[in-house]
């Protein structure tokens, strides 16, 4: 006789710490202190105003940067249309559906409920979860609009500054590695086609940080200060590191040095990568050729543009490490390993000089440190404004 199927109980049994943090759109009990917003009942206008006010520095900075980008584009006779935003919104929508499908499948397998439809309805349509969904939508809108702006600006770097810094960064790398290029130092350890193909695959998996990763911080139960710092640093990293510094220190990187600047310094590295591709496909070679084709076609679509210093791959991976270590030690350790592999891959696959990643880590760490001070100041301003004013004493 088969064992009876158990009906899911309400509330569900407590999950381990990491699973608690991954509960879709959930807020763990006791997270209402220290500035975290508690989401317990039906959403109301007051809560919406509180959420928006808490993230106001990020919204203000993002709007300012949007306006600045539009002005810079107009100065060069380039105008921004809604098509890239629509494409980006579709990618986010697909990512959200996949995440919900994966979460639903996992929960149904885990709890073995008698009524899957009722279980999923209770899981995703509870008032507190709908409130969390509503709370995350404004920031999601910022992300949807922000990435196309960055792609457009990244592709415009040659309009503002010539690619003249590569020789400097080659010199810095050789100074760090005692007269050798960074890829030459790594080659004895990772210069095997299976390892190269794996690192190339991992380098593409990085894009999961941009879509499912953003959705995680928008809608999952992450403590409020970590979430707010992540949002602000995300916006500032793409603009300060991927925009301002990338333009000021315009460089193309090892893989594009010969095609764009006629310098064969990394011809041996590219020869190895192409030879490895003959054994096992190296995905990044196709992407590099696509970027090169877009560059020559003067295309400014989503994901276009060529720049080496600093590395946004390293910056984003490091930012996720800084944030995820506050979610759980296990998650932080996992992302730290991912960061190390991405750093090695960025050099081995000829996208970056080693100094590109080092500078990205330093600047991202500075932005993360600054974000805590920004929100501490902002919360003091909000507390002061909300404090009741004392009545003057009557003589």
Helices first, then strands: H and E counts in the chain: 19, 0
Tokens of 390: 């004392």
Sign of CA dihedral 136, 140, 141, 143: positive
Q: Is the pLDDT of residue 352 over 70?
A: yes
Burial per residue of 338-347, b for 16 or more beta-carbon CB atoms within 10 angstroms, e otherwise: bbebbbbbbb
Q: What is the mean pLDDT of residues 339-361?
A: 97
Higher pLDDT, 44 or 338: 338
In the chain, the percentage of residues whose pLDDT exceeds 90 is 53
- pLDDT the model gives residue 11: 41
Higher pLDDT, 30 or 162: 162
If you write DSSP's letter for every residue of 227-273 in order, what string do you get? HHHHHHHHHHIIIIIIIIIHHHT----HHHHHHHH---TTHHHHHHH
Q: How far apart are CA 233 and CA 370, in angstroms?
A: 9
Higher-confidence position of 173 and 136: 173
- Does residue 22 have a pLDDT over 80? no
- Residue 262 region, left (φ>0) first, then alpha (ψ -120 to 50), else beta? left
The more confident residue out of 232 and 149 is 232
Is residue 323 pLDDT above 50, yes or no?
yes
**Separation between Cα atoms, residue 249 and residue 154, nearest integer Å:** 13
CB 170 within 8 A of CB 309: no
Q: Is the pLDDT at 5 greater than 80, yes or no? A: no
> For residue 6, what pLDDT band results from cuts at 50, 70 and 90?
very low
Q: Residue 87: which residues within 8 A CB-CB, separation 6 or more?
A: 148, 302
Whether residue 195 has pLDDT greater than 80: yes
With a cut of 80, say whether residue 128 has pLDDT above it. no
What pLDDT does residue 82 have?
Answer: 81
Is the pLDDT at 15 greater than 80? The verdict is: no
Compute the distance between CA of residue 257 and CA of residue 276 in angstroms, rounded to an integer. 20
270's tokens: 């590219």
- pLDDT averaged over every residue in the chain: 84
CB 233 within 8 A of CB 375: no
Q: CA 153 to CA 1: how far, in whole Å?
A: 66
- What pLDDT is stored for residue 30 in this prediction? 34
Residue 145 has pLDDT above 80, yes or no: yes
Q: H helices within the chain, ranges in order?
A: 17-21, 45-54, 56-75, 83-111, 116-124, 127-155, 157-160, 166-176, 182-190, 193-205, 212-219, 224-236, 246-248, 254-261, 267-279, 283-296, 312-324, 329-348, 354-386
User: Three-class SS of residue 208?
Assistant: helix
243-292 pLDDT per residue, tens: 899 999 999 999 999 999 999 999 999 999 999 999 999 999 999 999 99
pLDDT band at residue 46 under the 50/70/90 scheme: low
In the numeric block, the tokens 């009545």 are attached to 391
| Position 1 confidence tier, pLDDT thresholds 50, 70, 90 | very low
Structure tokens at 128: 């507190």
- How far is the C-alpha of 186 from the C-alpha of 41, rounded, in Å? 55
- Number of Cα atoms under 13 Å in the Cβ half of residue 379: 16
Which pLDDT belongs to residue 43? 52
- Sole residue written with tokens 């040095």: 257
Contact, 312 vs 253, CB < 8 A? no
Is the per-residue pLDDT at 310 higher than 70?
yes
37 has pLDDT over 70: no
Residue of higher predicted confidence among 353 and 221: 353
Is it the case that residue 21 has pLDDT exceeding 50? no
pLDDT of residue 392: 57
Nearest residue to 219 (alpha-carbon basis) of 320, 321, 103, 140? 140
What pTM value is reported for the model? Answer: 0.85
Q: Looking at per-residue confidence, does 2 or 184 come out higher?
A: 184
For residue 33, what pLDDT is reported? 34
Confidence of residue 34 (pLDDT cuts 50, 70, 90): very low
Interhelix angle 329-348/182-190, rounded to 10 degrees, is 110
Is the pLDDT at 334 greater than 70, yes or no? yes
Could you tell me the pLDDT band of residue 301, with boundaries at 50, 70 and 90?
Answer: low
Query: Residue range 11-35: average pLDDT?
Result: 38
pLDDT, tens digit, for every residue of 148-182?
Answer: 877 778 888 888 999 999 999 999 999 999 999 99
> Of 11-20, 110-119, 302-311, 328-337, which range is least confident?
11-20
SS3 191: coil
Three state DSSP letters for 11-56 = CCCCCCHHHHHCCCCCCCCCCCCCCCCCCCCCCCHHHHHHHHHHCH
CA distance 21 to 28: 8
Residue of 373, 205, 241 lying closest to 319 (CA atoms): 241
Of 266, 232, 225, the residue nearest 352 (C-alpha): 266
Q: Give me the pLDDT at residue 85, please.
A: 87
The answer, yes or no, to whether residue 35 has pLDDT greater than 80, is: no
Higher pLDDT among residues 261 and 25, named by residue: 261
Whether a cis peptide bond, with omega within 30° of 0, leads into 387 is no
């Amino acid at each position: 006789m088969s064992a009876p199927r158990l009906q899911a109980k309400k509330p569900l049994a407590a999950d381990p710490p990491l699973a608690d943090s991954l509960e879709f759109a959930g807020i763990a009990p006791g997270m209402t202190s220290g500035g975290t917003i508690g989401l317990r009942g039906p959403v109301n206008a007051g809560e919406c105003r509180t959420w928006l006010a808490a993230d106001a520095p990020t919204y203000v900075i993002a709007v300012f940067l949007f306006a600045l980008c539009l002005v810079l584009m107009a100065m060069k006779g380039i105008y921004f249309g809604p098509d890239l935003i629509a494409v980006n919104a579709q990618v986010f929508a697909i990512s959200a559906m996949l995440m919900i499908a994966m979460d639903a499948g996992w929960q149904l397998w885990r709890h073995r409920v008698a009524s899957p439809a009722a279980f999923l309805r209770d899981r995703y349509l509870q008032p507190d979860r709908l409130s969390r969904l509503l709370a995350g939508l404004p920031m999601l809108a910022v992300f949807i609009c922000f990435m196309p702006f960055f792609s457009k600006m990244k592709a415009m770097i040659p309009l503002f500054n010539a690619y003249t810094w590569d020789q400097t960064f080659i010199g810095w790398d050789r100074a760090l590695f005692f007269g050798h290029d960074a890829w030459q130092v790594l080659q004895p350890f990772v210069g095997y086609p299976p390892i190269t193909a794996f690192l190339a695959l991992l380098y593409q998996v990085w894009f999961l940080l941009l879509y499912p990763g953003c959705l995680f911080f928008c809608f999952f139960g992450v403590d409020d200060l970590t979430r707010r710092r992540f949002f602000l640093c995300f916006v500032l990293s793409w603009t300060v590191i991927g925009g301002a510094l990338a333009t000021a220190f315009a460089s193309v990187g090892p893989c594009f040095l010969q095609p764009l600047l006629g310098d064969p310094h990394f011809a041996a590295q590219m020869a190895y990568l192409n030879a490895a591709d003959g054994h096992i496909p190296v995905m990044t070679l196709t992407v590099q050729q696509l970027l090169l084709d877009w560059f020559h076609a003067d295309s400014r679509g989503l994901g276009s543009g060529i720049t080496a210093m600093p590395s946004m791959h390293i910056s984003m991976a490091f930012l996720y490490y800084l944030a995820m270590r506050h979610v759980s030690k296990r998650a932080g350790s996992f992302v730290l390993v991912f960061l190390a592999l991405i750093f090695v891959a960025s050099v081995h696959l000829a996208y970056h000089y080693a100094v590109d990643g080092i500078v990205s880590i330093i600047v991202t760490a500075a932005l993360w440190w600054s974000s805590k001070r920004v929100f501490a100041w902002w919360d003091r301003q909000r507390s002061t404004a909300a404090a009741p004013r004392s009545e003057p004493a009557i003589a």
